[in-house]
Amino acid sequence: MAPIPVAMSNGVPAVFLDRDGVLIEDTGYPHLESQLRMMPGAGEAVRRLNRLGYLCVIVTNQSGVARGLFTEQQMHAFNQVIVRRLALAGGRIGAVYACPYHSEGRVEAYLHPDHPDRKPNPGMLLRAAADHNIDMARSFMIGDQPSDMEAARRAGVSGFRFEGGNLDDFVRDLLGH
């Protein structure tokens, strides 16, 4: 009789990356290309993670939409500019998840008391896992806020707090390469 194979996850490992304060400098509701300031080493960090087999996924709260500071379309366009800038340095983003909802929003369509996607809730991470066959046991989050760490915890992944500087140096040190 043949041995029973052990169930192995065939999902991909991922790194969930916060946007403002991790990939880009947090300049206060940036949404125009002229406001974009990439974090030092961001493209190189994403490239390093890609080379190690990680799918890189942006997960970002964007309450500026709910607050009426910019539109959802502007948010998506700005996120695509970030993806293109990272690609120029050889970094590939597999997906972007953005939560435009907030409990104190001024735009009624985006007013929500506690949206499941808004970090510290894990909705964006869990949707990405389902959408992209992500192996959460081999995945982790890099964020700069306590809400990022809590979203990671609730999604069942490790969270690592980036406090500024060069993101590639942080990733290299984190992974030990």
Give me the pLDDT at residue 126, please: 98
Catalytic residue among 20, 117, 144, 148: 20
Residues 6+ apart with CB under 8 A from 99: 60, 61, 62, 115, 117, 118, 119, 123, 124
Instruction: Tell me: pLDDT of 8 over 70.
Output: no
CB count within 10 Å of CB 146 equals: 12
Work out how many domains the chain is built from and give that number.
1
pLDDT (average), residues 69-77: 98
Instruction: Give, rounded to a whole angstrom, the gap between the first and last alpha carbons of the chain.
Output: 43
User: Is 18 a catalytic site residue?
Assistant: yes
Cα–chain center distance at 77: 16
Distance CA 39, CA 165 (A): 8
Instruction: Tell me: pLDDT of 4 over 50.
Output: no
What is the residue range of 79's domain? Answer: 22-134+150-171
105-133 burial by CB neighbour count: b if 16+ within 10 A, else e? bebeebebeebebbbbbbbbbbbbbeeee
Give me the pLDDT at residue 10, please: 77
Instruction: Tell me: pLDDT of 147 over 70.
Output: yes
Give me the pLDDT at residue 23, please: 98
Q: What is the CATH number of the domain that holds 118?
A: 3.40.50.1000
Residue 83 lies in a domain: yes
User: Is 20 a catalytic site residue?
Assistant: yes
Confidence (pTM): 0.94
Residue 161 lies in a domain: yes
For the chain, give the mean pLDDT: 95
CB count within 10 Å of CB 87 equals: 14
Instruction: Tell me: pLDDT of 24 over 80.
Output: yes
pLDDT (average), residues 111-124: 98
pLDDT (average), residues 58-78: 98
What residue ranges in 46-143 does DSSP mark as E strands? Answer: 55-61, 93-99, 140-143
Kindly report the length of the chain. 177
Q: How confident is the model at residue 9 (pLDDT cuts 50, 70, 90)?
A: low
Residue 67 lies in a domain: yes
Q: Which of 93, 22, 11 is nearest to 57 (CA)?
A: 93
